[in-house]
Amino acid sequence: MSGPTAPWALGRGAAVRADGSVRFEVWAPAARAVRVRIVAGRAPVPMARDADGVCAVEVAGVAPGADYVYELDGAARPDPVSRHQPAGVHGASRVVDPAAFHWSDGGWRGRAMAELVLYELHVGTFSDAGTFDGVIPHLGALRDLGVTALELMPVAEFPGARNWGYDGVHPYAPHGAYGGPDGLKRLIDAAHGAGLAVVLDVVYNHLGPEGSYLGDFGPYFTDRYHTPWGRAVNYDGPDSDEVRRYVVDNACYWVTELHVDGLRLDAVHAIYDFGARHLLEELRDAVGARARELERRILVIAESDLNDPRLVRPRARGGYGLDGQWSDDLHHAVHAALTGERQGYYADFSGAAAVAKALRDRFVYDGRHSRFRRRRHGAPAVDVPADRFVVFVQNHDQVGNRAGGERLAALVPFAARKLAAALVLLSPYVPLLFMGEEYGETNPFLYFVSHGDPALVRAVRDGRRREFEAFGWGADVPDPQAEATFARSRLDRARAERPGHAALRALYGDLLRIRREEPRLVPGTARVEVGDGGGEGWIALGLDHDEPGGLLALFNVRGAETTAALPAWARQGVWRPRLATEDARYDGGGAAPGDVGDGAAACVLPAWSATLYRRGEG
């Protein structure tokens, strides 16, 4: 009879022992001889190798805080499973004792998908300090606004001090300039104390181009597939079992040692795995096992360009069983409707009809032909619960991947920004806000790096210019390497108290309060009915519209007043106003809306407006 399962522990890397020794273990089949060298003047220690290329040794008298490197046939390399890189991507690794940090979140149990109001932030530009500790003073304000979860852009060690994080090369090491592993633990512990979950963006489709030494250890990469950002990871070729373990262990490490509540998997369409059991399934199973053992909710959310509902369908129905996925189509539809832009992928989205379809059907492109892609794209997803889809009108990609990094505040009138907020926060999906969106931040969010290789810097500059050609944004692209580009991307919170900005923040706060108060706005709980006026520019969204307490939202996505011919289901009963974006409280200019329905066939909607109604009772 088998005994109880041992608790999960990170097997690779540097493990601190109770007797004052450290066990070092690394997979290095590409090297003939592997030694570990403690940097503080000690002789290198040879490591024993097994038949699979796993090298290990216990070294006495090594304390947490000691720096070390592996010597691969004499060449010094940092640990692929380094928990801390205090000297950067090229420097020595540091021994970390995961038991040394004193957590205060023992009663924290995480949050379900339907409870999430995500707030995406970049640690380096969110605060003046640009550190994990710099985020902590703002947690209370985010909680009071109605946010329930932080979503951190990637924090794994990357080259230099300035980067979005998607060029990370040490997946286990929280970035040193942000505060390292202890800084991240302090932030997560404080977030849990404030009632906020923490979702971490992780990158498993590639590693960055500078400081990546994995290929010196073993066949972590493959030339059979290609990504736009770097060499594809070897998930299904020869010797891929250890590569898969490296990534699955990484997911378990974040949720176990760092107490992360969820992982946002970057661009899973570039995770190439044609084996019978996809890496995403294996990762989801491992994280699910950790959640059960830790008695916490832990979420796995994918970003995908495929509009493929299999990511979030249950395993019993042939899906991967992930908890959620980012859905770009609502963003694209709203952005195209409000800005009039038709460049690049916005060519596929036009007017209220696309917004209405996104609200109703999850995806606009669910098997339809895409003019931009010149083929059919996506698959139907109406069978998947709405709480599996994360929606937004701004995020790091859609802002930062513009040549000028313009936020919505720089592109559309004030009334249209309020409308955009309502479209996301009254949608039947899980909402995500991008840092500063709630008060209409106007500083751009630009693309920035701080690489040390001049040739790589030139390649990044040239690549950004080429990337923008399809959008017709010209060659005037801010220099990604310049520190000024990074500095321009910092938030300016002083704006939040200025006219217009304060009113916008009040609107976000009220919309989020209403989400908490109205059961029909919990994603996945209400029956959704959507009507639209096509070329008339209006949309009607009903949530349990035929029941007492049901909700009706009317949106006008045009810059002119319009008369909405209400669909038959919206004419029944009396609808009483609950919130209007044109209210004077939000610096609107319209008169307070009256009741609608009660057999009336139409109502007048102000330009760029949203009004929420609740079905009258009795």
Residues in the chain: 618
User: Rounded to whole angstroms, what are the CA distances from 510 to 330, 414, 504, 578, 581?
Assistant: 22, 17, 10, 10, 10
Q: CB of 448 within 8 A of CB of 440?
A: no
- Alpha-carbon gap, residue 66 to 264, rounded angstroms: 32
The reply to whether 438 belongs to the active site is: no
- Alpha-carbon gap, residue 71 to 55, rounded angstroms: 12
User: Which of 303, 308, 328, 441 is the catalytic position?
Assistant: 303
DSSP collapsed to 3 states, 350-371:
CHHHHHHHHHHHCCCCCCEEEC
Q: The tokens 């390292």 sit on which residue?
A: 180
The reply to whether 303 belongs to the active site is: yes
User: Rounded to whole angstroms, what are the CA distances from 89 to 35, 68, 81, 164?
Assistant: 20, 13, 12, 15
- Alpha-carbon gap, residue 503 to 255, rounded angstroms: 38
- Do β-strands 22-27 and 13-16 pair in parallel, antiparallel, or remain unpaired? antiparallel
Phi-psi sector, 263: left (phi>0), alpha (psi -120 to 50), beta: beta
Q: CB of 141 within 8 A of CB of 220?
A: no
69: which strand partners? 37
- Alpha-carbon gap, residue 425 to 513, rounded angstroms: 10
Closest CA to 156 of 217, 200, 104: 200
What 3-state class would DSSP assign to 506? helix
- Alpha-carbon gap, residue 360 to 357, rounded angstroms: 5
User: Which of 79, 266, 308, 583 is the catalytic position?
Assistant: 266
Q: Would you state the structure tokens that stand for residue 19, as one six-digit string?
A: 């007797």
| CA atoms lying within 13 Å on the CB side of residue 224 | 14
Q: CB of 554 within 8 A of CB of 578?
A: no
- Alpha-carbon gap, residue 589 to 587, rounded angstroms: 7
> Is 44 buried (19+), middle (13-18) or exposed (0-12) by CB count in 10 A?
middle
DSSP 267: T
As a 3-state breakdown, the chain gives helix, strand, coil percent values, each rounded to 5, of: 30, 20, 45
CA 601 to chain centre: 42
- Do β-strands 118-121 and 430-434 pair in parallel, antiparallel, or remain unpaired? parallel
DSSP character string of 519-553:
GGGSTTSS-EEEEE-GGG-EEEEEESTTSTT-EEE
Q: Would you state the structure tokens that stand for residue 164, as one six-digit string?
A: 């979005």
Catalytic residues: 266, 303
